[in-house]
Structure 1
């Protein structure tokens, strides 16, 4: 190879290398431009226009005078403080977003649980109400057995008695819709219908007594109904039942269980309530005229404005009862210090008013009557 050819080859290789260097330089410039562009674009939202301008002014001033004035430093500092505060508030708002989303999700879950609960309650109500068909068949059999029996022979077969008792235990309380809304407390209207039918069937005492002894009529729903005078419900279990505004004059509820029952405005005048259990029951505005409450349990019962005129409260348990505005005219009690006892020893609500309105008078050897002053 001649010297001239060798020079030409070196020049060619030099041009190739120069081209490669130019490409590398272009790529670097391009990256630098992109980085500068990104920095420029991101500096505005990050730093803010005011802070960016104050920093540029400080840099330009330093280039020109090799120093920075107090006003320029103050301007940069104030813009930094303002920007940090603004970013902090923005950060707080950002952190609140997940909390708000979580709260919204919790609200949705709660509402969903309520809807599911209501749906389950309605399904349960539909299932319970299906027992009405069984009750219809049972009452048809009852009517058939009593069809040819006279008034003195109205006992029914033990098999039918057992079927009635079993049905009362199968009728569990449930919630149902009333006026478009789900009721608050579980109750059984079917038990009320069954008990009403039994009372109206005029069964003989033996069958009636055996049915009530074996049955469970707790959570029975009665309201604003007249069941007749002198109904025999001795020993019946009516715990948690709703008998508000029911008329039961002269009924026999001796030893009946009425724990936490709603008996507001019930009429139990002349009723036999000996040893009945009214613990925590609602007896507001009830009519208990001449009722016999001998040794009855009225623990924590609410007797607000109840009328107990001429009733018998001999040995009646009244611990924690509410006697606000109760009427006690001619009520028979078992101790001469009865008024002082309910006020000072039991510390009952309304006892102070009783002391102001009434006095106790001895009527017999061990009998006392409450009279108005």
Structure 2
């Protein structure tokens, strides 16, 4: 290869390298222009016009004088603080909007669930009410069976007893609308109707006992009814029932279950409540004159302003009961230290007032009564 050809080849390679360098330079300039464009477009929403202008002024001033004045720095700082505050408020607003929407959606779901529950309760009430038709047929059969029986022969057939007991268990409590509002606690008015019909049927003691032993009359609505004197409800289960203002003088409720029953202003004068269970029962303003509560369980019962004049409290369990303003004139108790026992050992509500108002008087070998001081 001649020297001239060697020079031409080098020139050609030089030109190729130059072209490659030009292409690389163009790509860099293109990328730079794209990045500058993106930065330019994003700087306004990110920084704001005022902050961007103050930064430009600071850079220009530094290029010209190689220093930045105090006013320029203050301008940049104030614009930075203003921008951060604005972005913070905007971020807070952006955060709150989903939260508000979520709270609103939750409220809608809760309301929807409440409506569904109400609808279910009303459907259940309609279904339970259909049992009234079954009760009508059953009571017709009961009337027919008792039609030709005398007052001393009013026992009914075991089949009919089983049907009555089964119906009482099928009548489940439910919520229904009263005065346009859904009641708070579940109850069964149908059970009250069935029990009232049974009491009025004047069945013999044997049938009563067998029916009440097998039946479930808990959650019975039995409010403000006069049932006559001496009703036999021995062994009945009336727990969680509404018995407020019911008149049951001299009723036999021996060994009955009245757990958490509402018995406010009930009349149980001369009633037999031996060994009955009245745990957490509401007996406010009740009339229990001469009632026999021997060995009855009144754990947590509310006896506020109850009249227990001449009532028998022999062995009555009163733990956590409320005796505020209860009347205990001549009430019979089983221990001489009864007042001290309920005040100090049991620490019952209202017991201190009983200490001030009554004293224990011995009457008989192992019988004591409370008399006024």
Same fold, TM exceeding 0.5? yes
Aligned counterparts of 2:111 and 2:36: Cα–Cα separation in 1: 51
Classify the secondary structure of the residue corresponding to 1:243: coil
Instruction: Report the equivalent of 2:93.
Output: 93
Instruction: Report the equivalent of 1:220.
Output: 220
CA deviations on 1:239-265 (whole Å, 9 max, x unpaired) are 111101101011011111111111111
CA deviations on 1:17-74 (whole Å, 9 max, x unpaired) are xxxxxxxx9xx99x969975x7666443322232133223324434544432121122
Classify the secondary structure of the residue corresponding to 2:222: strand
Aligned alpha-carbon RMSD (Å): 2.1
Aligned counterparts of 1:359 and 1:49: Cα–Cα separation in 2: 91
CA deviations on 1:137-159 (whole Å, 9 max, x unpaired) are 10111111122222222222221
Instruction: Report the equivalent of 1:240.
Output: 240
Aligned counterparts of 1:156 and 1:207: Cα–Cα separation in 2: 6
Residue 179 of structure 1 and its aligned partner are, at CA, apart by 1.4
Between the two proteins, the alignment pairs up a number of residues equal to 345
**Where do residues 333-348 of structure 1 align in structure 2 (5 Å cutoff)?**
333-348=333-348
Aligned counterparts of 1:217 and 1:62: Cα–Cα separation in 2: 94
List 4+ stretches of structure 1 deviating above 6 A.
31-35
Classify the secondary structure of the residue corresponding to 2:219: coil
Instruction: Report the equivalent of 1:314.
Output: 314
Aligned counterparts of 1:352 and 1:76: Cα–Cα separation in 2: 77
Residue 305 of structure 1 and its aligned partner are, at CA, apart by 0.7
Do structure 1's residue 355 and structure 2's residue 331 form an aligned pair?
A: no
Aligned counterparts of 1:33 and 1:300: Cα–Cα separation in 2: 82
Instruction: Report the equivalent of 2:104.
Output: 104
The change in CA–CA distance for 1:41 and 1:199 in structure 2 (over 3 A counts) is same
**Where do residues 21-170 of structure 1 align in structure 2 (5 Å cutoff)?**
36=37, 42-170=42-170
Residue 220 of structure 1 and its aligned partner are, at CA, apart by 0.8
Classify the secondary structure of the residue corresponding to 1:360: strand
Moved more, 40-49 or 302-311: 40-49
Aligned counterparts of 1:180 and 1:35: Cα–Cα separation in 2: 71
Classify the secondary structure of the residue corresponding to 1:68: coil
CA deviations on 1:149-171 (whole Å, 9 max, x unpaired) are 22222222221111111101111
- Structure 2: stretches of 5+ with no match in the other structure: 1-25
Aligned counterparts of 1:311 and 1:66: Cα–Cα separation in 2: 106
Aligned counterparts of 2:69 and 2:316: Cα–Cα separation in 1: 96
Instruction: Report the equivalent of 2:371.
Output: 371
